[in-house]
Structure 1
């Protein structure tokens, strides 16, 4: 698996950012709420390339909140193209993708980048790799749907997401209550209907 032509992949939440400052991060994709203040932790990082996307972690429209859009996923794919374009000049690299908690938007973004980089890789294998990177991964289904379409995966990424949700519900039963409380019942149902 090529996995972005980067030697190290990290997914985390905002509170974990200070703990990654000494890990020679070369590339950062930040996915945060639109009204979130700039994150101070990056001031302690070495030189790195960073792209910030701002939208809420929702799967249905809510008043005053910004849904993930196809354009946001397009920006993630542009970021991935940039990684590919600079691969030959890089001896090693460390990509850090984060959102508020490192569970939903960031894992969907990382899955998008992995699926882009490894176009022939089986979707279930990609989700297994995602769980190795971030065991608590619960990717935002709207983002994965847009990635599936834009990458021409013909629904296979979304079907693998269902199996991933089923796996997570079995391994981490607390997600059923947690995601329901967050208004993500539809994603729970995706994992239960197999």
Structure 2
């Protein structure tokens, strides 16, 4: 299972689901306190802004960071929590990427449609999706699937949700 939430719901989501692994995707300078019950080696924080093209003074997600996040998620196929500041763009993109990595034969469009059903506000960061698509050798199918679900509803922050593997 892949849990997704905004930073403001991090501790509550970890506690409510008894989670032990956390992936934090935030801009440099954003304070993220490791939740109780999560050991240091089970909490990875990556720093980059929620942008999809170069912007002066901002750090875009990079291929190395996406590879590091995917490797962290692959260390254990158990539950993981992915969060960003709002729980809308960076975290939903990475949750989608982790789902595609964990289920390599599952259709990208089906995963994207499931993501949309679970979160009306999910607007996966297109650069993260493109970098993950390249890393996973999905030949553009991840990008196409996310383009097909379109932008999510406007919001200040997304509601926590859980992306479950197919049965």
Gaps of 5+ in 2: 157-167
Gaps of 5+ in 1: 1-7, 85-92, 179-194
Query: Which residue number corresponds to residue 107 of structure 2?
Result: 122
Deviation per residue, 1:74-130 (Å, 9 max, x gap): 11111122124xxxxxxxx43111000000000111111110011111111111232
Post-superposition, which runs of at least 4 consecutive aligned residues in structure 1 deviate over 4 A? none
Q: Which has the larger radius of gyration?
A: 1
TM-score (norm 1): 0.72
d(CA) in 1 for partners of 2:144 and 2:67? 21
Kindly state the Cα deviation for residue 133 of structure 1 after the two structures are TM-superposed: 4.3
d(CA) in 2 for partners of 1:54 and 1:19? 22
Kindly state the Cα deviation for residue 131 of structure 1 after the two structures are TM-superposed: 2.9
2:9 to 16, 33, 36: 16
Kindly state the Cα deviation for residue 137 of structure 1 after the two structures are TM-superposed: 1.0
Decide which structure has greater helix share: 1
Of structures 1 and 2, the one with the larger relative CO (CA 8 A, separation 6+) is 2
TM-score (norm 2): 0.83
Kindly state the Cα deviation for residue 61 of structure 1 after the two structures are TM-superposed: 1.1
Equivalent positions of 1:62-81 (< 5 A) are 62-81=55-74
